Structure 1
Amino acid sequence: MNAMRATVRVQGRVQGVGFRYFVRCTARALHLTGWVRNLNNGDVEAVLEGPAADVEQAIEALRQGPPQGRVERLLVERTPCRNEFINFEIRL
């Protein structure tokens, strides 16, 4: 299995629209591990780990976002998987 890790920063109207819940549902549906959180500057940050194809699928879903949100920019850093998570959670 070709596993990877992606650290994603999402910019736009992404807080207060259920974006973190959307990311968690997407990640769990793809059996990815990691976390998502709001940042003080209005961005949302997520770390996704799992099979590369599934991580890429999640990134594409985040690029679209939930219907209430508006993604203006997506910054993605891909690195080797560290296998440090056991599930996917929303962090405060």
Structure 2
Amino acid sequence: MIQYHVLVSGKVQGVGFRYFVQMTAMQYEITGWVKNRSNGMVEIVAIGEQNVLDSFLVEIKRGNRFAKVQKMDITKEETSELFTSFRITY
């Protein structure tokens, strides 16, 4: 399993983006979490197989019809914690 830490910037708050990320992660059977940050960015921790994570990130970059992703900073990390699902955190 691989873990990515992703910071997403653009028009990604107040547009259903976290819910979109959660639904996409569940579709790809990825575990982890997503949350809004106070600086207007969205933070994601995603754990899964490499090829599945690659597809997931392509979908996230596309966003939902209300979001506009301008930039994604992606860092590959050591898997620190295993999750059983993908959740929205606050």
SS in 2 for 1:57: helix
- Unaligned segments of structure 2, at least 5 residues: none
Question: 1:1-92 counterparts in 2 under 5 A?
Answer: 3-92=1-90
Deviation (angstroms), 1:78: 1.1
- Unaligned segments of structure 1, at least 5 residues: none
SS in 1 for 2:48: strand
How many residues were matched structurally? 90
Question: What amino acid sits opposite 1:51 in the alignment?
Answer: E
Q: Is the 8 A contact 1:5 1:48 kept in 2?
A: yes
Q: TM-score, normalised by structure 1?
A: 0.92
SS in 2 for 1:45: strand
Task: State percent identity of aligned pairs.
Answer: 34
Q: TM-score, normalised by structure 2?
A: 0.94
Over aligned residue pairs, what C-alpha RMSD do you find?
1.0
SS in 2 for 1:15: coil
CA offset digits 1:49-88 (Å, max 9, x no partner): 0111111111111111111011110100012334521110
